[in-house]
Amino acid sequence: MKTNIFLIIFGLISFQIFGQTGNVGVSTTTPRSTLDVNGSININNEINLGGSDAAVGNSGTAGDLLAARADTVAVWKKFDLPTGYLDGVILTANYTKSTTAGVIFTTGGAVDPYNENTSITGWSVISGVEIPAVKVTKASNIVNISVQTVAQITGNTGVGSFGCGIFVNNQLKLVRTNNVAGTSGSYRILNFNASLRNLTLTNNQPTTYNVKFACIARNLPSGNTLHIGINQAASPTLNAQMAGTALSVQVLEPIQ
């Protein structure tokens, strides 16, 4: 008799566990889906997707990634990465600015050489393209800086020389000297490219750097005016946009 009672009770319990059609919750009394797990899941075997009462689902192959498809059944996806891909770098930040407000020189200056890490003091900054916070997050990094602008000369002799540089935290990192010569209104298109490697992290934490573009007059005979990044109103050769300055900064860092 006791055996029969036990079998009847076990059968009723089994019916309640396996015959119910509501949601099931683990560590939650208000499950929001068919199976709601409020905690971590430990899986020691395959995960089959898209199965039915009559067939086992797809367990994928080694290296597949689980891809969600909104409210439809998730699927296994294969992503083939080229050899060496994870050893490369990716673009993690990009900054671009442009301006038509440049600098004007009416007198010359020193023609001495320039040294790396020289202070920005004495240089004329084209402030409209300043990038105040270029962020690097990894100790291994490459920061590429590109600038394009225009230098134009007007005056009696139509000649003038100058230097332009890229400054990081107000220290000179790249400089180019050049000159413009010709009839009044002559101009030269200028391109600057700097590639800086492994800017230092402060306390091994993500760090920001300030990037500026600045110029300085060198040899400029009396009676001449040198414009950099700004058009000369007296000359119809260039309009404001044509004479402006554009600066771009790209940060490249390892994938892993």
Q: What is the mean pLDDT of residues 88-96?
A: 93
What topology does CATH give the domain 88-254? Jelly Rolls (2.60.120)
Residue with tokens 């900064």: 249
Q: What is the mean pLDDT of residues 63-91?
A: 78
Q: Are 113 and 172 in contact (CB under 8 A)?
A: no
Instruction: Examine the pLDDT at 16 and tell me if it is beyond 50.
Output: no
Q: Residue 14: what pLDDT?
A: 43
Res. 249 pLDDT band, cuts 50 70 90: very high
Answer with the residue of higher pLDDT: 135 or 73. 135
Cβ within 8 Å of residue 154, ≥6 positions away: 184, 185, 224, 225, 227, 232, 234, 235
**Residue 36: strand pairing partners:** 25
| Percent over 90 (pLDDT), the chain | 55
Q: Are 247 and 101 in contact (CB under 8 A)?
A: no
**Where are the chain's structural domains?**
88-254
Res. 25 pLDDT band, cuts 50 70 90: confident
Instruction: Examine the pLDDT at 181 and tell me if it is beyond 60.
Output: yes
Average pLDDT of the chain, as a whole number: 87
Answer with the residue of higher pLDDT: 59 or 21. 59
Among 176, 175, 187, residue whose Cα is nearest residue 231: 187
Cα(143)–Cα(198) distance, rounded to whole angstroms?
8
Q: Residue 6: what pLDDT?
A: 46
The distance in angstroms from the start CA to the end CA of the chain is: 68
Residue with tokens 């602008």: 149
Q: Are 123 and 211 in contact (CB under 8 A)?
A: no
Q: Are 223 and 107 in contact (CB under 8 A)?
A: no
DSSP assignment of the chain equals -HHHHHHHHHHHHHHHHHH--S-EEES-SS--SSEEE-S-----S---BS--SSS--B---TT-EEEEETTEEEEEE---PPTTGGGSEEEEEEEEEEES--EEESS--------TT-BSTTSEE-GGG-EEEEEE-SSS-EEEEEEEEEEEEEESS-EEEEEEEEEETTEEEEEEEEEEESSTT-EEEEEEEEEEE-PPPBTTB-EEEEEEEEEEE----TTEEEEESS--TT-SS--HHHH-EEEEEEEEEE--
With b for 16 or more beta-carbon neighbours within 10 A and e for fewer, the 57-96 pattern comes to: ebebeeeeeeeeeeeeeeebeeeeeeeeeeeeeeebbebe
Q: What is the mean pLDDT of residues 144-149?
A: 98
The pLDDT tens digits of the residues spanning 183-196 come to 888 999 999 999 99
Q: Residue 153: what pLDDT?
A: 92
The pLDDT tens digits of the residues spanning 129-145 come to 999 999 999 999 999 99
Predicted TM-score (pTM) of this structure: 0.71
